[in-house]
Structures are given as C-alpha cells and as structure tokens.
Amino acid sequence: MPEGIEIEIYRQAGEAGLHRTIERIEADDEWFLKDGTTAEALHEALIGEQFSAARRIGKLMIYDVTSGARLGLRYGMTGRLIVDESAAIGYLEYSSQRDDPAWDRFVVHFADGGALRIRDPRRLGGVALDPNESALGADAFTVTLGQLRDRVFVGTVPLKARLLDQARIAGIGNLIADETLWRAGIDPARAANSLEAKDEKRFLTHLRAVLADFMRDGGSHTGRLQPARTRGGQCPKDGEELLRREIGGRTTFSCPRHQR
DNA sequence: CTCGACTCCTGTTAGC
DNA sequence: TGCTAACAGGAGTCGA
C-alpha cells in the first residue's frame, strides 16, 4: 500500500504536472473531498492556474498552486497517481491489479491535453485544499535522532503503534514499520520509551536503510520480511515461525527469537 | 493531551 | 460453481 515510499515516487512523477495550465477538473466524488473542500472551491483555486511545486510530508502530497492555494492529495492504501496516462507505480500491495478508469476519483485536465488523475479503487484516499501540514510529525526520510527521542521514543504505548502515528513521525506505514523493527531486532510490542540509547540509534540506522532500499527497489512491498508476512511464515533470518499479532490496530509480524 | 476502540471504504481471497 | 465472510490498512472520530 502507499506509504511514504510510494508517495515520494508519486511526488517525483507528479513533477511532470508542474507549470502547465489547468483547464478543467473532475471532482464529482464528494466522499473523496475532505476537510470541507468542495468542487466549487477546487474550481476557484485551480482553473486557469498552474502547479508551481510538488512537495511531500509523510504520506501527504502537496501541490503549491499559482493562485496561492495548496492542493493536498492522499492515496489511502490503494490510490495511484497517473500522469498523462502513465502510472507512477505499476504494483501496489493489497490493491487491485486491474486498472479501471471508473476508479478515477479526482482528475486535473491540462490545457495541453494531458491529465493527472488519482485512481483509487477503495476510495480511502482524498483531496483537500490547504491541508494542515503542521499536524504531521517530522518526515521519516529526514527525521533526526533528537526528533525521534522527543516524539517517538516516549510513553508506554507499543513502539509499533507509535511509528504509525503520523502526528509523531510522518510517512511510516505498516510494512515499513514491520521491516524496520525486524531488521533492527526490536520487538514491536515493546513500550516506546523502553529502548536503550544504542537501540534508538540502531533503529534510526535501519529506518534509513529500509527507506533507501525500498526506494531503490520500487516500493514498500519489497522488504526481506515481506514474503514471510503470512500465517505460518518463517523468519528469513533464523527460520523461527513468525508471531502474528495485532498491534496499534494493524496486523504485525515479528520474530520471537531475534526481536527483543 | 493521551490512547484504545470503532468506523469508513471495496476488491480480493479463503473457505464452505 | 457460486456464495459469504474475512481481510487488507490509512485516517478520522469518539469516549474514557
């Protein structure tokens, strides 16, 4: 599913939409418009304007608009960005492998004939004008050890749940969390504030490596743990049968032998 | 402020 | 073969 990795890939692809005049939009799915955003307001903010920058914080993609507005795009777990009919990502874990134009929930048509569309089968994504960027924690790609200590490694909540809290660190989804904790050898159920200093540093080292690997390999489904994330799956490191639990409301796989 | 439980969405898949 | 129920997880809401 789209995590920070996929959104960054979408953002890069979305740069093809910069500096092109917006002629028309399709925003007919009211469910997909969030935070009180209306089709009328989108028209007002976008028609005749251009995108001047494509940014990303965590899983939120933001287009700056020449009108002064900002356009926030969220992809839920099955949304894709398609620019000029070419999809930024060909494969999404847990999404349909079919490709149906009926799943277009929001479309921007440029005057040059091209288009930018969010194709989202399950409609878990959304579009909002002027999203609240300050509600998000530091982005996972650039987070520092100090920021982790201030906002993530605190409290007695399970660490896995903390990592999924976008207000504390933005961009980590279920697969990045499981892969990072698995590589770092940390039990996802451990209290967020229970790590020793060397564990905290090791976590950040592995987080950076996971993000780099996932970017290089093309998605958050490319982890070494991923093939074993199934009932009865075995740890790729030591062969132990993986634990399957629900932590932070998400299915969590971990190795009972080397994750402590 | 914190935190767990609940809800929403719908295509796919496991199981009968 | 055809149906149903479970499942996936990002994100918002609500109540304690």
Q: Where are the alpha helices (DSSP H) in A164-219?
A: 174-184, 197-217
A69/A148 same-domain check? no
- Where do we find the tokens 């899983």? A59
A199/A91 same-domain check? no
A215/A154 same-domain check? yes
Phi (first) and psi of residue A222, to 5 degrees: -100, 15
Spatial neighbors of A109 by CB under 8 A, at least 6 apart, are A22, A23, A24, A25, A26, A115
Q: What is the number of domains present in chain A?
A: 2
- CATH number at A68 reads 3.20.190.10
Q: How far is the CA of A142 from the C1' of C7 (A)?
A: 33
Residue A4 CB in 7 A reach of strand B: no
Which element (helix H / strand E) includes A245?
Answer: strand A243-247
What residue has its CA nearest to the C1' of B12? A96
Q: Domain range for residue A164?
A: 137-254
Q: What is the pLDDT of residue A96?
A: 72
Query: Does the pLDDT value for residue A92 go beyond 80?
Result: no
Q: What is the pLDDT of residue A90?
A: 66
Q: How far is the CA of A184 from the C1' of B15 (A)?
A: 37
Q: How far is the CA of A152 from the C1' of B2 (A)?
A: 14
- CATH number at A172 reads 1.10.8.50
Residue A120 lies in a domain: yes
Residue A259 lies in a domain: no
What residue has its CA nearest to the C1' of B10? A122
Residue A178 lies in a domain: yes
Rounded CA Rg of chain A? 19
**What digits encode the pLDDT tens for the residues A130-177?**
999 999 999 999 999 999 999 999 999 999 999 999 999 999 999 999
Task: Compute how many other C-beta atoms are within 10 angstroms of the C-beta atom of residue A72.
Answer: 21
Q: What is the pLDDT of residue A186?
A: 95
